[in-house]
Amino acid sequence: MTNNNNNNFFRNILITLAVLITLILSFNELNLINFNTIKQTAQTNQNIVNSRMTYGRFLEYLDLGWVKQVDLYNNSRNAIIKASSPELGNRPQIIKVEIPVGASQLIQKLKESNIDFDAHAVEQTNLFVNLINNLILPTIFVVLLITFLQNYDELTGGSISSPLNIIKSPAKFKRKPNTGVYFDDIAGIDEAKADFEEIVSFLKEPDRYTLVGAKIPKGILLVGPPGTGKTLLAKAIANEADVPFFSISGSEFVEMFIGVGAARVRNLFNKAAENSPCIIFIDEIDAIGRERGAGVGGGNDEREQTLNQLLTEMDGFKENKGVIVVGATNRADILDRALLRPGRFSRQITVGLPDRLGRINILKVHARNKPLADDVSLVQLANRTPGFSGADLANLLNEAGILSARYNKSSITKNEVIEAADRIIGGIAGTTVEDNKNKKVIAYHEVGHAITGSVLISHDEIEKVTIAPRGNAKGLTWFTPDEDQSLVSRSTLLAQIITALGGRAAEQVIFGYTEITTGASNDIQRVTSLARQIVTRFGMSKIGPIALEDATSGEVFLGGNTGQSTEYSKELVNRIDAEVSEIITYCEGKALQIISDNRVIIDLIVEKLLDVETLDGNEFRQLLSQYTILPDKKMPYVSNFN
């Protein structure tokens, strides 16, 4: 056995080497053109290619007159450009650009702009080399790869299962006892963090909770755009509570072979149960949790089986057993409803893009172990980076660090930080310009809600208004709900409708009727449903206190006590519609009135909001009260409209 092992060992080493060499060769072959040409140009320019940029950016540079020299390669598909200008710093930049197919005007443009340009042919190697490159090497590669995979288990000591063995051993997740992330390393998402602190204390002392019969959710769903810290949060709870952390990505569950995903889910939950208390983290849960039967072409059996298995497993373990499943997604709306039922992912936590203060704090976290020069202001940097996620910000400081190393500086100065920010903004550009215009509309819309809600005495107090996007919402205004919600007055219902219409009203008053946007569609749905309920359910219209809930169309029958059914006449249906429409028109008028009355102060509040992105209720009221006398909402039974 030992002998055999030794032989195997050498054979495996040889195979690994062969695979590596082949890999390098094939890689080099694929990149032959870029690799060599970049090197060439770099030499001729006595410089290195220090970045790449988009074609659009390149055209901008061209228009600005910053482009000094262009070398075209690969049938004009790639270009290495040399750009310089005082704005770009004192040394010329060598930048790689990929040129889209069909950009034929480029040459013309270069001629017109009098730019020194040159086209280089693709290197032609001789037939024999071509043959080796294109035919023989790949064949050897494939053969070796297969041999390699067959020996995978031996090579890795069996600790990692070979991709050919997926069915044999479906375990494919990472178990990390120590994730190295603490709550201190996470900033800018305080609400989500607070929610998690409770879970940590449960994992630390489960008895304290179980004794009093308190239930901790089995499943928590983190919803938010990529890079906002969802994985980070899950890792931090595992670490803070000192429990094992199992992580897997939803897309890894779903394989080509039917049944594999389900087997993996089973395996994962078995492992977790053996190691409880622990955290299971499923990233991209939408890859398995998409609504069943929604797939194109009738179905995706493998995914549905996997999802069903996940549901079964989650139902199978009891609450308070110490296994907490944390799922992450940026699309909660496409998830199968069954996943969100009590006992499964019953708690949802939204993790949004950070606002300005959040960005400052995230930058502080990532600046901790970096030598920042005194001229770097994280506050200014946060001001410049709206729409950046935590990951973007971390990336920004990293890039700045790399740049300062390249310039041989001992600390990161303002220049590098600005350069890095520009690069990243360039990378995510396309949305930013658009965003700036949209941001303004969103700000006016949200401030519209906030102002109407604040001046109406029957409306709840505003708690917070923000234009930092969260989940699917681009902006949000929160109100503190009244403690007692069991009895709701007509004036409160109307105040809710007026406030919901306040967003659209602001768009209309500020930008004009032709410029109103689709941003109000959710508001309008809410308004319509509220107004309809006022008429048909609460009996608060001229039709009187009659339950008309099912009378939404002439074809609906309502079963009465007698067992007879009542058919509503077309006339009654029309009256209901007329009442609903009257209520909405009345409220719309009020909303427009309130916005017009407060027109002067809106710009000021919007300006502030665009700057800080989030205003809490007190800050908002303080700004608004400079201009308007706000009602005392503690006073009962008064309304400022009838």
Total residues binding ligand ADP (CB under 6 A): 17
State the binding string over 520-559 for Zn ion (x if CB under 5 A, else -).
---x------------------------------------
What Rg do the C-alpha atoms of the chain give, in angstroms? 31
523 binds, among Zn ion, ligand ADP, none (CB under 5 to 8 A by kind): Zn ion
Q: Which C-beta is closer to ligand ADP: that of 358 or that of 617?
A: 358
226 binds, among ligand ADP, Zn ion, none (CB under 5 to 8 A by kind): ligand ADP
Lookup: tokens for 584:
């909405």
> Closest approach of Cβ 249 to ligand ADP, in Å?
10
Q: Is 459 annotated as a binding residue?
A: no
Q: Which C-beta is closer to Zn ion: that of 355 or that of 523?
A: 523
How many other CB atoms are there within 10 angstroms of residue 125's CB atom?
A: 13
Q: Is 227 annotated as a binding residue?
A: yes
Query: Does residue 352 belong to the site contacting ligand ADP (CB under 6 A)?
Result: no
Q: Is 523 annotated as a binding residue?
A: yes
Query: Does residue 240 belong to the site contacting Zn ion (CB under 5 A)?
Result: no
Written as one letter, the residue type at 341 is R
503 binds, among ligand ADP, Zn ion, none (CB under 5 to 8 A by kind): Zn ion
Cβ–Cβ < 8 Å for 420, 486: no
Question: What is the spatial distance between Cα 499 and Cα 78, in angstroms, rounded to a whole number?
Answer: 54
> Closest approach of Cβ 386 to ligand ADP, in Å?
15
3-state secondary structure of 364: helix
Q: Which of 14, 24, 103 is nearest to 58 (CA)?
A: 103
Q: Which C-beta is closer to ligand ADP: that of 386 or that of 390?
A: 390
Handedness of CA 104, 107, 109, 112 (dihedral sign): negative
Q: Is 514 annotated as a binding residue?
A: no
> Closest approach of Cβ 246 to ligand ADP, in Å?
16
617 binds, among ligand ADP, Zn ion, none (CB under 5 to 8 A by kind): none
Q: Is 92 annotated as a binding residue?
A: no
231 binds, among Zn ion, ligand ADP, none (CB under 5 to 8 A by kind): ligand ADP
State the binding string over 496-525 for Zn ion (x if CB under 5 A, else -).
-------x-------------------x--
DSSP symbol at 123: P
> Closest approach of Cβ 188 to ligand ADP, in Å?
5
Query: Does residue 390 belong to the site contacting ligand ADP (CB under 6 A)?
Result: yes
Query: Does residue 360 belong to the site contacting ligand ADP (CB under 6 A)?
Result: no
* Footprint (CB under 6 A) of ligand ADP, residues 164-203: 186-189
- Whether the upstream peptide bond of residue 277 has omega within 30° of 0, thus cis, is yes
CA dist 447 → 365, 475, 499, 568, 628 (Å): 31, 10, 10, 42, 14
* Footprint (CB under 6 A) of ligand ADP, residues 326-345: 328
Question: What is the spatial distance between Cα 183 and Cα 354, in angstroms, rounded to a whole number?
Answer: 16
Sheet with strand 93-98: strands edge to edge: 51-53, 93-98, 78-83, 67-73, 116-119
CA dist 579 → 350, 583, 641 (Å): 37, 6, 18
Is 446 a catalytic site residue?
A: yes
229 binds, among Zn ion, ligand ADP, none (CB under 5 to 8 A by kind): ligand ADP
Total residues binding Zn ion (CB under 5 A): 2
β 219-223/174-176 pair status: unpaired
Query: Does residue 364 belong to the site contacting ligand ADP (CB under 6 A)?
Result: no
Phi-psi region of 34 (alpha: psi -120 to 50; beta: other; left: phi over 0): alpha
The rounded Cα 354 to chain-centroid distance in angstroms is: 11
Q: Map tokens 């998409």 to a residue.
A: 290
Question: What is the spatial distance between Cα 112 and Cα 108, in angstroms, rounded to a whole number?
Answer: 6
Binding site for ligand ADP (CB under 6 A): 186-189, 226-232, 328, 362, 365, 390-391, 394
Binding site for Zn ion (CB under 5 A): 503, 523
Active site residues: 446
Residues making up the binding site for ATP: 224-231
